[in-house]
Structure 1
Amino acid sequence: MRLRSGDPEAIGGYPLEARLGAGGMGTVYLARTASGRRVAIKLIHQQFADDEEFRTRFRQEVSAARRVSGAFTAAVVDADPEGALPWMATAYIEGPTLSERIESGGPLGGAELRALAVGLAEALRDIHRVGVVHRDLKPSNVVLSAEGPRVIDFGISRAADHQTLTMTGRVIGTPPFMSPEQLQAPRDVGPESDVFSLATLLVFAATGQGPFDADSPYITAYQVVHEEPKLSEVPAVLRALVEPCLAKDPGERPSTDELLARLLALPEDFGMAGFGTPAGAGAAVDSATQVLGGGARAEVRAGVRTEVPGPERAPREGADSGTGSRTLTGIGPGLRRRWRSVLAAAVAVTAVASGVTLLGPDRGADHGSDPQNAAQGEPPGPASTGKPLPEGFAPWQVSVRGGKDIPDELRCVPRGADVYCGGGGVVATRLRAADGKPLWTVRSPGVPANGMHFVGVAGTASGDTATSTAAGGNPEGSEGSGPTVVGYRIPDSAAPPQVVALTEDGEERWSAPLGGESTLLMGRTQSAVLHRGDVLSVDPGGSRIEARRAGGDGSVRWSRPFPSGTQCAPYAPGPRAARLYAICASTAEVDAVQIRRPILRLVDPADGRLGEPVPLKGPWRPVGEADGKLVLVQERMAGLDLAGYAAVAVFNPRTGKVSEHALRGADGDDVEVTDGAAPTVVAGALHFVEQNGRVHSVDPATGRVRWSRQTGVEWASAPVAAGGVLYFGSASGRVAALDVRDGDLVWASQPRVESPGSETGATARVSLAGRAVIVSAGGNTVFGFDAERPPVED
């Protein structure tokens, strides 16, 4: 739809291209960012701009939408709720709404209906896990994109632990898709209300009419509250699924986790087969390590893997995982609190969230032992690592399938002639660095949980010269030949997530269940930590830190209980860092999802003994090491939302002292950095990347900003450094290279994929295999190019 006379030419610096539509509250326009990414901008009508109650509700919408930017929602790119005319820009999702699709093509059925149901249940799961209730799920708020359904419009959503804002004298919502409690007591609705709405929407999708449709909205509302749903035209399998969701009593409805598990247990074509509880539901979880030596075998011929199944084997690329696969239900209080804690920690979910730096998932780099993450003095070229390309290298791009084929985002670690990657739907995959050829892939059988990603690689591969030594004098990975690949597996049952150790050929060494509160305590989901050949994690009961030798059989090398009345998470500044830490908090603060007084402790990597407690005042998060000192940043909150960062601290392990410094500009004025990528210590400096792509390089010892530059890459990830150059990537595959000394732009590449994802707290998407730049992007995409011949913009 063309722009009309009177429409603005630009909003917030984004040139407008077309009108997408208009409603009672505002107009939606199509625009583009500086990098060419399409965005939809909602501009609020003038008559509401002076209505403070409406502004408050719009602020809630922006806040909620930022938190739930995930695989099945539209990511927030920018917003100004305080402007003369408030506006919000989200990723543009191309496709018809569900209401348009039903109107033009009639009801859905078979695999199309099942895909819609699974996608919407996944969306609600992610929405609820960050403490938000949508409250207006209806066909016009579901866009059917090529990648799957997307939930939009959080205009009347609310935080689950906030009082609902209901505009005076109005019932807000759409009666045919509202829950009974929303019509009767709108201030008291919880996630169960969205489950009810989802069921009504699925009935509409399957039959073309809602279960409570009537001639007037008043009669419809009455029937929602008092009458039984009309389900006679609903297919039997779907009816068995939605009936419990339409219970009048919210407490009788299933959770979104339970609903998603039941959906995934249905036939792929949503056929008429009977519905029952998936096999293995409710089975007891064995918290002991599973040792799978010899239990499964695989052969690799010309890059193709053949399987001889063994017990408890996760599905591999091309394997049939069966129709009994289910999502992570009954995830237990630890993981459930960890997802709830994203609300307090303000780690917004995405299509794919946090991952690894060059050698592991840690935010900080071990600069002393890893030259890829250290400044190398004068660079040999404007964007050269000073290292050769892998033999036979040519630019390449691949897409790696995940366990449920849900768009994901991997993180990668080069080792020798290969690159190992992993993500929520992929335990690990091995790609040839020269041409990207997949050598093997181990897929995760369950639905990816946003925020759980690749752990890293321990040990050395042929051609590697690194000889890191573990505590006690054991070479890293010496208990097994070749490197050990460590990733996460999301089971297809009610079991907790697992950490999995694989050989370099993709054979499973061992696996173990995980617990703990890493997101709440450290600001990111890092349930397993790789440190000098050991895998550190919290036991499923959430009571102790355990260490397992990555290259061994997975048996517990040492186990150390938390101090009484506390919960802890292990933290390593890098996989080869000299020191290991624990971040702890009182159990009361963890249960309240409010960490006000975290406690820092050194951990002896030899036996897990905890050092003296170092109390920290305020929400501090570890982000790496500089000059042998631990660097932490202080979060700045706006209510329950993470607004950014205001201070930096360094902990000196030799003296036990903490030095705090406010962030200050070159003129000495205080600086408040807004939220964006994970703060990261790299090349000796602390780097903040804001959502709009602006980078601040800070001296961690003083808090002074060394330089600030615009990368031109919105939602850029944390950087990595090589050859005096900082590399930043985005979910679209766009990469920017900045000079590490002054932040000057060396080059920027074009986007590679159309990705709706954006990620608050994004860790580095770029790694380097010699001179080859390896980049992970949305949709399980990985590509490589020569650092000296980047695919720059025209």
Structure 2
Amino acid sequence: MRLRSGDPETIGGYPLEGRLGAGGMGTVYLARTASGRRVAIKLIHQQFADDEEFRTRFRQEVSAARRVSGAFTAAVVDADPEGAHPWMATAYIEGATLSERITSGGPLGGAELRTLAVGLAEALRDIHRVGVVHRDLKPSNVVLSAEGPRVIDFGISRAADHQTLTMTGRVIGTPPFMSPEQLQAPRDVGPESDVFSLATLLVFAATGQGPFDADSPYLTAYQVVHEEPRLSAVPAELRAVVEPCLAKDPGARPSTDELLAQLLALPEDFGAGAGGAAGGAVDSATQVLGGGAGDLSRSQPDQVGPRTGSRTLTGIGPGLRRRWRSVLAAALAVAAVAGGVAWLGPDRGAGTQNTAQGGGPASPSTGKPLPEGFAPWETSVRGGKGIPDELRCVPRGADLYCGGGGVVATRLRAADGKRLWTVRSPGVPANGMHFVGVTGTGTGMSTGGGTGTGGEPVSGAAASRGEGPRAAASGGEGPGAAAAGGVTVVGYRIPAESAPEQVVALTEAGKERWSAPLGGESTLLTGRTQSAVLYRGDVLSVDPAGTRIEARRAGGDGSVRWSRPFPPGTQCVPYAPNPRAARLYALCASAAEVESVQVTRPTLRVLDPADGRLGEPVQLTGRWRPVGEADGKLVLAEERMEGLDFAGYSAVALFDPRTGKVAEHPLRGADGGAVTVDEGADPTVVAGALHFVERSGQVYCVDPASGRVRWSRQTGVEWASAPVASDGVLYFGSASGRVAALGAREGELRWSSPPRVESPGSEMGATARVVVAGRAVIASAGGNTVFGFDAERPPSEG
């Protein structure tokens, strides 16, 4: 729909291209970012800007959306709920709503119905794990994208630590899909209400009718509260799962974790053909932003929104606290505007090359060779459940080892991407749980540099000091190193049932050496989903009971080499800046702080890799997270909070393990003025400096010893990952497959490549997606895509 007279030309600096829809509360526009990414912007009608009740609701909508992430929710690109004319931008998506799909194609059945059920249950699990209750789960708030279902519209959601806002004189919710308690006492609803709504939605998907449908909303509401659901047309296997979810008593319903486990146990073809005209073609109509702060009329289909990171976790149970950062790291899902998948551009073949992009100079010759027989390539590696999860890779000799989420590990040939073997994980992937690493001396290390043996970025200087891949190639990896002639590949397995995650050690041929269950609070204490740490040939982790740190030999049978209990009253996790770092550390906090998910007084200890002895505790005050090593000192970044929400970083600190002293410095520009860095990728120390990457693609290069910003540049890559450094060049990647190369010293843009996959990726806290093998750049992208190209001939736009 074209823009009309009186429509703005830009909103928040985004040029508008057309209207997507309008309703009583706002108008939704199609726009593009500076890098060409399409976004949908919801602009609230001016008359509501002065309505403090409405503005409070819109503010809560944006806040709730920024707390949520997961494979089946969506992400916020930008928002200004405090402005004179509030607005919110989300990534643009194509796909029909579930309501439209059932209307046009009839009820779902078989694998299509199972995929929907599992995806929605996982979405709710992720929503609830960050303390948010959706409260308006219905068919028009589910978008069927090519990547799977997306839950959208957090317009009436509630955070566990926020008072529920009841809008005066306005109905909140949709009766056929509301729970009894939501109809009777809307201020008191919890996650159990969403479980009830999900069950009604699945009945609708399987039969074309809700379990409480009646001739009017009032009769429907009465049936929800007082009558039993009508389930006779629901396939028997699904009925056994959803019927307990429809209990009138919230306490009698299963949790989302239990519900997800039950749905995963359903056979792929359950109920096929039982629901009527199942499996009709999905309408590919463009989606328009949903209602959010009121219902935007959907003369066109619904639109979806993105992830944004936030680490507000009040009231979350132990199951989340072990993995809360992985849930938030990507952070998706903004509100009303709909849960959007970011379609970032056409699929581009790997063969299109040129010598320079982005208006900067061409990448200079590294003097290093390409892998023998190299040609640009691209491949995709699916996980155990067929649900894509972004991989991370480590170069080793002539090959790459990659893993993450649904893939324990896969071995690819660096020259052409040929897959030599893949070991899959049976469970649903967890955001941010990528890959542990590779150790041993069997095949030698790639000569490319750019990443440590565990996938941790290291600079060329670090490599020359014996902290990076060349050191690993030379052997001497410590007491736990793999047996001579044996490489050990270490990854994660997520069980299909509700069992602890496992660390798995494989041979270079993909055969399992050993596995062990994992516990601990790594995401809470270090800010990263790093339940296992690879350090000098040992795998360090916390036991499943969460009482001690254990070190296992990566090679051999994985037997426990030492076990060290936590100091009384605390919980700890191991941390290594990279697998060949100068020191190994433990991050600890009181059990009370861990239980409250509010760690503001952590302690830092040096951890002896020989026997696990813990050094004297060093008290930190504030929300500090370790981000790497510089000159043998541990670098930490201080998280900046806006209320209860994580918003970025404000300071840097250096811990000297020789003196036990911590030197803190606020982030400052060249003029000495304070600098605040917005949320984005995982802060990382490479090429002797600390690098922050905002979700907009802005990069800050900071001196870790002083907190001064050396330079700041725009990569043009939104949601860029942490960088990796090789031969004076920093490489940044995104889930869409964009890669940008910047000079490490001055930050000048050498080149940037176009997107190559359609991806919902907007992962908050993204670790490095790029590795370098000789002159070959290897990058991972959404959909478990991995691709390689010549650094001197990067892909071009066109």
Both structures adopt the same fold (TM-score exceeding 0.5) = yes
Asked whether 1:113 is paired with 2:113, we answer yes
Aligned to 2:151: 151
Aligned to 1:47: 47
1:206-247 per-position Cα deviation (integer Å, ceiling 9, x unaligned): 222211122221222222112211222222222222111111
Q: Is the 8 A contact 1:477 1:483 kept in 2?
A: no
TM alignment of 1:395-794, pairs within 5 A = 395-464=376-445, 466-468=470-472, 474=478, 477-479=481-483, 481-793=485-797
Aligned to 1:363: none
Shift of 1:265: 1.3
**Inter-CA distance 91–402: structure 2 relative to 1 (3 Å threshold):** same
Q: Is the 8 A contact 1:774 1:784 kept in 2?
A: yes
- Cα distance between partner residues in 2 of 1:141 and 1:4: 27
1:687-715 per-position Cα deviation (integer Å, ceiling 9, x unaligned): 11111110111111111111111111111
Aligned to 1:258: 258
Query: Does 583-592 or 145-154 show the bigger shift?
Result: 145-154
Q: Is the 8 A contact 1:468 1:475 kept in 2?
A: no
Aligned to 2:358: none
- Cα distance between partner residues in 2 of 1:9 and 1:383: 41
Equivalent residue pairs, number: 707
Q: Is the 8 A contact 2:736 2:781 kept in 1?
A: yes
**Inter-CA distance 24–480: structure 2 relative to 1 (3 Å threshold):** farther
1:557-606 per-position Cα deviation (integer Å, ceiling 9, x unaligned): 00000000000010001101120000000000000110010000000000
1:57-96 per-position Cα deviation (integer Å, ceiling 9, x unaligned): 2222222222323221222122221222222222222111
- Cα distance between partner residues in 2 of 1:273 and 1:593: 46
Aligned to 2:181: 181
Shift of 1:459: 1.8
- Cα distance between partner residues in 1 of 2:21 and 2:473: 61
1:481-538 per-position Cα deviation (integer Å, ceiling 9, x unaligned): 3321100000112220000000111010000000000011011111000001000000
Aligned to 1:64: 64
1:731-788 per-position Cα deviation (integer Å, ceiling 9, x unaligned): 1000111111111111010001011120111110111111100000000000000001
- Cα distance between partner residues in 2 of 1:333 and 1:153: 24
TM-score for both structures, normalised by structure 2: 0.86
SS in 2 for 1:167: coil
Query: Does 69-78 or 95-104 show the bigger shift?
Result: 69-78
Aligned to 1:37: 37
- Cα distance between partner residues in 2 of 1:202 and 1:761: 33
Query: Does 511-520 or 87-96 show the bigger shift?
Result: 87-96
Asked whether 1:135 is paired with 2:139, we answer no
Shift of 1:341: 6.5
RMSD: 2.2
- Cα distance between partner residues in 1 of 2:489 and 2:109: 41
TM alignment of 1:335-354, pairs within 5 A = 335-340=319-324, 347-349=329-331
Query: Does 381-390 or 484-493 show the bigger shift?
Result: 381-390
Counterpart of 1:160 in structure 2: which amino acid?
Answer: A
Aligned to 1:239: 239
Q: Is the 8 A contact 1:472 1:606 kept in 2?
A: no
Counterpart of 2:395 in structure 1: which amino acid?
Answer: P
Q: Is the 8 A contact 2:538 2:553 kept in 1?
A: yes
Aligned to 2:210: 210
Q: Is the 8 A contact 1:471 1:606 kept in 2?
A: no
Counterpart of 1:29 in structure 2: which amino acid?
Answer: Y
- Cα distance between partner residues in 2 of 1:384 and 1:333: 52
1:521-556 per-position Cα deviation (integer Å, ceiling 9, x unaligned): 011111000001000000000000000111121000
- Alignment partner for residue 391 of structure 1, among 366, 372, 395? 372
Shift of 1:259: 1.0
- Cα distance between partner residues in 2 of 1:221 and 1:335: 34
Asked whether 1:165 is paired with 2:169, we answer no
- Cα distance between partner residues in 1 of 2:325 and 2:98: 32
Q: Is the 8 A contact 1:341 1:593 kept in 2?
A: no
**Inter-CA distance 461–536: structure 2 relative to 1 (3 Å threshold):** same
Identical pairs, percent: 83
SS in 2 for 1:607: coil
**Inter-CA distance 467–673: structure 2 relative to 1 (3 Å threshold):** closer
- Cα distance between partner residues in 2 of 1:731 and 1:336: 24
- Cα distance between partner residues in 2 of 1:163 and 1:471: 58
Query: Does 138-147 or 425-434 show the bigger shift?
Result: 138-147
Aligned to 1:315: none
Shift of 1:686: 0.7
- Cα distance between partner residues in 2 of 1:722 and 1:676: 22
Asked whether 1:86 is paired with 2:86, we answer yes
**Inter-CA distance 648–233: structure 2 relative to 1 (3 Å threshold):** same
SS in 2 for 1:742: coil
Q: Is the 8 A contact 2:326 2:430 kept in 1?
A: no
- Cα distance between partner residues in 2 of 1:117 and 1:6: 43
TM-score for both structures, normalised by structure 1: 0.86
Q: Is the 8 A contact 2:110 2:273 kept in 1?
A: no
Aligned to 2:464: none
SS in 2 for 1:224: helix
- Cα distance between partner residues in 1 of 2:791 and 2:156: 47
Aligned to 2:103: 103
- Cα distance between partner residues in 1 of 2:695 and 2:764: 8
Shift of 1:122: 1.5
Counterpart of 1:219 in structure 2: which amino acid?
Answer: L
SS in 2 for 1:42: strand
Q: Is the 8 A contact 1:732 1:777 kept in 2?
A: yes
